[in-house]
Amino acid sequence: MKVRNVHERRFPATEPVGALIDSLASDKDALWPIESWPRMAFDRSLQAGAAGGHGPIRYVVEEYTPQESIKFLLTRPKGFDGTHGYEVVAIGPETVVLRHTLEMTTSGLANLSWPLVFRPLHDALIEDSLATAEASLRHPATVQRWSPWVKLLRWVMSRGRARPQVTPNKPMQRTAFGRR
């Protein structure tokens, strides 16, 4: 099955949105919702060829343009063939979009696991990531509450140890974002 899944948020063009992408998987990660989801981690610094992932999802950094975009090539689960990534897109002189796009073809058991298990979890995680981006840039976080299905999936997959959803409300205090 062909899959194209897109999530995005708009920001003023004056915001350092690209720095959010550059912070991924670092100790100063300002984009990934580490309070509620498995941490994104790689075998080396963020660069083309770095291998890693989060939870059961594995991927390799296929392309990385600092301050602009990152694209990951999916390597697991089996039957997930494609890419996902973040990009900053100017949509006018005063506005940019932080966009996450997943494009893949599923095969075998993934034809069932994607719509029943992974898509609801993916959608919840990416919405939490974009809410984290908003809070990191000192904007009100637009939080999409998890559905009962997402809560159940998380509970089952974590064997009852899933962390609750956290509403990001603290702005990042990092000089990389021009604030102290």
Q: How confident is the model at residue 171 (pLDDT cuts 50, 70, 90)?
A: low
Q: What are phi and psi of 74, to 5 degrees?
A: -70, 135
How far apart CA 105 and CA 107 sit, in angstroms, is 7
- pTM above threshold 0.95: no
Q: Is pLDDT of 160 > 50?
A: yes
Q: How many CA atoms lie within 13 A of 6 on its CB side?
A: 7
Q: What is the pLDDT of residue 172?
A: 55
How far apart CA 148 and CA 6 sit, in angstroms, is 22
> Which domains are present in the chain?
2-169 (3.30.530.20)
Which residues, 6+ apart, have CB-to-CB distance to 53 below 8 Å?
A: 40, 41, 59, 75, 76
